[in-house]
């Protein structure tokens, strides 16, 4: 009887996951390496990126879906002025960013989760560090909840068609070179012949 119950529960669980669109969820969370990565051509654009209207530090509105999936790779980096590893990561990206733009057309969107009281700090901090990235504000942490992550820095890399190819939490010195390798594996550079992904 217990064996039958276990089989029945497994069957119902599988059916429920299928009915809830498990394939779409798996596409968003798909790994960037291994056998599944080779099949990622079927991955849809993450529709959650259209859920929230964000503003940049100058008050201009946009959705993340306005940039992601528009033909060029995009790196989303969620950060805060109180987060030292976040600021270190984005600062260290500056050494590589020029090459990423030239070779791949990559754009970095740095999304601050500082609350409304600290929004003035974001603008003054950006002026000081002179990051060349587009800075967006998520003061109510709406995108943080929608993308379901707990801590910053939280970084996502999308290819030109809007497929999630890599993501990571936290930052330690040297992680920017791991990101560089992931970006250089993208097969859609803006100049020259397409580069083949290495296994």
What predicted TM-score, i.e. pTM, was given to this entire model? 0.72
Would residue 65 count as lying in a domain?
Answer: yes
Residues 6+ apart with CB under 8 A from 76: 64, 68, 109, 111, 155, 156, 157, 158
Cis peptide before 153 (omega within 30 of 0): yes
Which pLDDT tens digits describe the chain residue by residue (199 residues)?
Answer: 444 444 444 443 433 333 434 333 333 344 444 333 344 443 456 889 999 999 999 999 999 999 999 999 999 999 999 999 999 999 999 999 999 999 999 999 999 999 999 888 999 999 999 999 999 999 999 999 999 999 999 999 999 999 999 999 999 999 999 999 999 998 644 444 444 443 3
Q: Are residues 26 and 50 in the same domain?
A: no
Q: Where are the beta strands (DSSP E) in 63-196?
A: 74-79, 107-112, 134-137, 154-158, 164-169
Would residue 189 count as lying in a domain?
Answer: no
pLDDT of the residue at 187:
60
Would residue 150 count as lying in a domain?
Answer: yes
Give the CATH number, domain containing residue 94. Answer: 3.40.30.10
pLDDT of the residue at 72:
94
**pLDDT tens digits for 70-88?**
999 999 999 999 999 999 9
Would residue 196 count as lying in a domain?
Answer: no
Per the listing, tokens 């939490």 go with 169
Domain, as residue range, for 98: 32-184
């Amino acid at each position: 009887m217990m064996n039958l119950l276990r089989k029945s529960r497994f069957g119902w669980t599988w059916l429920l996951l299928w009915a809830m669109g498990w394939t779409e969820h798996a596409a968003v969370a798909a790994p960037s390496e291994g056998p599944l990565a080779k099949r990622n051509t079927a991955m849809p654009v993450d529709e959650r990126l259209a859920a929230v209207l964000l503003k940049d530090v100058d008050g201009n509105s946009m959705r993340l879906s306005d940039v992601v999936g528009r033909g060029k790779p995009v790196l989303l980096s969620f950060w805060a002025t109180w987060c030292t590893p976040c600021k270190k990561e984005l600062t260290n990206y500056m050494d590589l960013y020029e090459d990423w733009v030239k070779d791949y057309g990559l754009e970095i969107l740095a999304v601050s989760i500082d609350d409304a009281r600290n929004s003035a700090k974001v603008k003054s901090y950006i002026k000081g560090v002179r990051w060349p990235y587009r800075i967006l504000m998520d003061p109510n942490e709406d995108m943080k909840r929608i993308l379901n992550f707990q801590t910053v820095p939280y970084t996502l890399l999308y290819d030109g068609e809007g497929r999630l190819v890599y993501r990571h939490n936290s930052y330690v010195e040297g992680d920017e070179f791991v990101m560089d390798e992931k970006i250089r594996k993208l097969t859609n550079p803006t100049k020259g012949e397409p580069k083949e992904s290495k296994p």
